[in-house]
């Protein structure tokens, strides 16, 4: 029993640290140390050739004792683990920077926000022209070019907040901000305040999918961080800024894809499972579409600050009904068994 427990603990710790070591941090340090090693020994390698040069420069390392080699390896693994932990701590601040928060007071933040807001206005015009136009008998079907324009307009509308004051300078920020604002427009609830309560009532498989999507976004953000940091090797490798720029661009594209998946899952969670929050809070859910905004705002206020309305009646309670007995008071008395 004890051995099984310790085996489980060991496997869990091994999995945790393996996941932390074999990350972008490990690639950063391995690539950086390779650059430093080559910058120091490139003369020998060029003079003697790759095979003979590698044999010459690696000969001193073969003389290391097992203890010294083990200490060097342990120190390197500790370096990777500590730097990976620091990157995990800085993931959220880095994500906020990529979203565009704090850019409004500095150029080109306002210009980019205005450009994206104008693009949404143009996309809405295209959407209204192609979808919301009045139908008439004999109307020709949309062409392939119109379908492509409609798909592009739909992507812009879904990835940009409707109100201009909520538009952020970056595409990543607008994707996530749209996911935060869409439950307000559709259900009248504040996604930020209601999300922890919704999380408790979500099914396990839904929470697993959302967690996986958010983890993928965080990994992409950390990959972007390490890509940008790769420029520190520039004094030893002239091509380091080029590699850093290319890797950062690929990491940002991965951020966009992961953020889009995460935004879709969050929106679907509110659309499908928000009635569970109404039920858990014992507040009546909306009965018609006209009641949606009012019921959503009431739910948000109740979850945020409670209610001071003495006449507020919870769902399932009727006037004049007595409170149900406490479960413990209705429990049968236990009797001793011989």
Residue 260: pLDDT band with limits 50, 70, 90: very high
pLDDT of amino acid 102:
77
pTM of the model: 0.78
**Is residue 74 located within the same domain as residue 116?**
no
Residues 77 and 206 grouped into a single domain:
no
**pLDDT tens profile 218-237:** 999 999 999 999 999 999 98
pLDDT at 239: 92
Q: Decide if 221 is inside a domain.
A: yes
Judgement on whether residues 56 and 111 belong to the same structural domain of the protein: no
How would residue 57 be classed by pLDDT, with cut points 50, 70 and 90? low
Residues 158 and 20 in one domain: no
Together in a domain, 118 and 29: no
Model confidence band, residue 20 (pLDDT cutoffs 50, 70, 90)? low
* Any domain includes 7: yes
More confident residue, 242 or 125: 242
Q: Are residue 83 and residue 184 in the same domain, yes or no?
A: no
Residue 49: which pLDDT band, with cuts at 50, 70 and 90?
Answer: low
Report yes or no on 80 lying in a domain. yes
Report yes or no on 138 lying in a domain. no
Which pLDDT score is estimated for 222?
95
Residue 315, domain member (yes or no): no
Does 336 map to a domain?
no
Same domain, 198 and 299: yes
- Alpha carbon of 131 to those of 145, 146, 151, 152: distances in Å? 14, 10, 11, 13
Count of CB atoms situated within 10 Å of the CB of 269:
22
Average pLDDT of the residues in 308-312:
62
Comparing 91 with 133, the larger pLDDT belongs to 91
* pLDDT class of 322 with cuts at 50, 70, 90: very low
Looking at the structure, do residues 77 and 152 belong to the same domain, yes or no? no
Closest CA to 110 of 124, 120, 100: 100
Based on the fold, state whether residues 116 and 242 are members of the same structural domain: yes
Residue 55 belongs to a domain: yes
CB of 98 within 8 A of CB of 224?
A: yes
Number of structural domains (the chain) is: 2
User: Are residue 124 and residue 68 in the same domain, yes or no?
Assistant: no
Which pLDDT does position 120 carry in this prediction?
85
pLDDT, mean of residues 298-304: 84
Weakest mean pLDDT among 146-150, 262-266, 333-337: 333-337
Cα–Cα distances in Å, from 122 out to 49, 125, 127, 154, 260? 61, 5, 9, 11, 21
Q: Which of 9-18, 61-70, 182-191 has the lowest mean pLDDT?
A: 9-18
Q: Which of 41-50, 107-116, 126-135, 282-291 has the highest mean pLDDT?
A: 282-291
Does the residue 215 lie in any domain?
A: yes
Residues 100 and 64 in one domain: no
Q: Which domain holds residue 203?
A: 94-132+143-305
């Amino acid at each position: 029993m004890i051995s099984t427990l310790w085996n489980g603990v060991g496997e869990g710790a091994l999995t945790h640290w393996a996941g932390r070591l074999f990350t972008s941090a490990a690639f950063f340090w391995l690539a950086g140390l390779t650059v430093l090693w080559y910058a120091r020994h490139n003369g020998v390698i060029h003079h003697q050739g790759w095979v003979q040069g590698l044999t010459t420069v690696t000969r001193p390392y073969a003389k290391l004792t097992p203890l010294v080699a083990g200490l060097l390896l342990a120190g390197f693994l500790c370096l990777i683990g500590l730097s990976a932990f620091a990157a995990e701590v800085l993931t959220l601040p880095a994500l906020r920077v990529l979203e565009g928060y704090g850019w409004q007071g500095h150029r080109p933040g306002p210009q980019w926000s205005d450009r994206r807001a104008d693009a949404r206005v143009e996309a809405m015009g295209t959407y209204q022209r192609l979808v919301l136009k009045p139908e008439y008998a004999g109307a020709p079907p949309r062409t392939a070019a119109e379908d492509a324009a409609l798909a592009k307009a739909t992507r812009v509308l879904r990835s940009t907040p409707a109100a201009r004051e909520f538009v952020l300078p970056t595409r990543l920020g607008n994707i996530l901000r749209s996911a935060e604002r869409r439950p307000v427009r559709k259900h009248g609830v504040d996604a930020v305040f209601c999300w922890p309560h919704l999380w408790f009532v979500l099914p396990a498989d839904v929470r697993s999918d959302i967690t996986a999507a958010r983890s993928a976004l965080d990994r992409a953000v950390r990959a972007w961080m390490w890509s940008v940091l790769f420029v520190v090797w520039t004094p030893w490798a002239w091509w380091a800024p080029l590699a850093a720029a290319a890797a950062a661009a690929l990491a940002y594209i991965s951020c966009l894809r992961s953020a889009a998946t995460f935004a879709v899952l969050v929106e679907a969670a509110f659309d499908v499972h928000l009635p569970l929050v109404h039920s858990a809070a014992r507040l009546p859910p909306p009965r018609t579409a006209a009641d949606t905004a009012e019921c959503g705002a009431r739910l948000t206020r109740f979850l945020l600050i409670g209610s001071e309305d003495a006449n507020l009646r919870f769902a399932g309670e009727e006037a004049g009904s007595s409170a149900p007995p406490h479960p413990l008071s209705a429990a049968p008395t236990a009797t001793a068994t011989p």
